[in-house]
């Protein structure tokens, strides 16, 4: 039985459907079984806690994606912070297709223990996804840290423009 939390403000403002709020008004997302309603996300969240910056998950992208969009199930690194199970998560996808000619990709090596192939972080394909799309790798959540994470985030920041530093690729 999966449960997530909404803020009291979300519950009181009507952002959350009334059937998802307990009679006590607590910030509780009732399960589908408790309300009979469909999930606001369309499925089931399998994560126990909100994703953290640098964590790597398997992400189920749309199978009907159009080129150059990413599709199928693939590893992603969480690029946002202050995440919630009920909110959007910004991720950077990985590809095992060699990206040697792509200036927006970084060779990251083996990212998930269950996949021995070399992966590239494709930093010009940022995606906002629901937690429903994310699953741990065989119950474990690897985390990219240090220099590699800094390089991936810096390249993604450069792609979208960095107004703080006054840099823009446009």
SS (H, E, C) the chain: CCCECCCHHHHHHCCCCHHHCCCCCCCCECCHHHHCCCCCCCCCCCCCCCCCCCEEEEEECCCCCCCCCCCCEEEEEECCCCCCCCCCEEEEEEECCCCCCCCCEEEEECCCCCCCCCEEEECCCCEEECHHHEECECCECCECCHHHHHHHHHHHHHHHCECCCCECCC
Q: Quick check: is 169 in a domain?
A: no
Q: Quick check: is 125 in a domain?
A: yes
Count of domains forming the chain: 2
Q: Quick check: is 167 in a domain?
A: no
Asked if residue 152 and residue 85 are part of one domain, the reply reads yes
Q: Quick check: is 126 in a domain?
A: yes
What number is the average pLDDT over the span 144-164? 88
Asked if residue 33 and residue 88 are part of one domain, the reply reads no
Asked if residue 65 and residue 26 are part of one domain, the reply reads no
Asked if residue 64 and residue 25 are part of one domain, the reply reads no
Q: What pLDDT shows up at residue 48?
A: 87
Asked if residue 61 and residue 139 are part of one domain, the reply reads yes
Read off the pLDDT band of 71 (50, 70, 90): confident
Q: Quick check: is 48 in a domain?
A: no
- Please tell me which residue, 69 or 25, carries the higher pLDDT value: 69
Asked if residue 149 and residue 101 are part of one domain, the reply reads yes
What number is the average pLDDT over the span 52-80? 89
28, pLDDT greater than 60: no
- Please tell me which residue, 161 or 52, carries the higher pLDDT value: 52
Q: What is the CATH number of the domain that holds 85?
A: 2.30.30.110
Asked if residue 149 and residue 65 are part of one domain, the reply reads yes
Asked if residue 68 and residue 21 are part of one domain, the reply reads no
Distance CA 147, CA 69 (A): 27
Find the domain containing 28 and state its range: 1-40
Q: What pLDDT, in 10s, does the model give residues 39-49? A: 444 567 889 89
Asked if residue 35 and residue 77 are part of one domain, the reply reads no
Asked if residue 60 and residue 25 are part of one domain, the reply reads no
Q: Quick check: is 45 in a domain?
A: no
Asked if residue 126 and residue 95 are part of one domain, the reply reads yes
Asked if residue 119 and residue 80 are part of one domain, the reply reads yes
């Amino acid at each position: 039985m999966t449960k997530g939390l909404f803020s009291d403000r979300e519950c009181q403002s009507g952002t959350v459907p009334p059937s998802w709020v307990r009679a006590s008004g607590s910030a509780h997302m009732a399960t589908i079984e408790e309300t009979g309603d469909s999930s606001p996300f369309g499925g089931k969240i399998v994560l126990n806690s909100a994703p953290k910056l640098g964590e790597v998950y398997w992400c189920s992208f749309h199978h009907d994606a159009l080129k150059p969009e990413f599709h199928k199930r693939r590893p992603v690194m969480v690029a946002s912070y202050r995440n919630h199970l009920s909110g959007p998560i910004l991720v950077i996808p990985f590809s095992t297709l060699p990206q040697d000619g792509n200036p927006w990709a970084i060779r990251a090596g083996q990212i998930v223990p269950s996949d021995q192939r070399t992966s590239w972080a494709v930093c010009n394909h940022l995606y906002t996804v629901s937690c429903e799309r994310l699953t741990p790798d065989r119950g474990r959540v690897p985390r990219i840290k240090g220099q590699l994470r800094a390089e991936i985030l810096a390249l993604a920041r450069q792609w979208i423009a960095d107004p703080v530093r006054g840099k823009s690729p446009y």
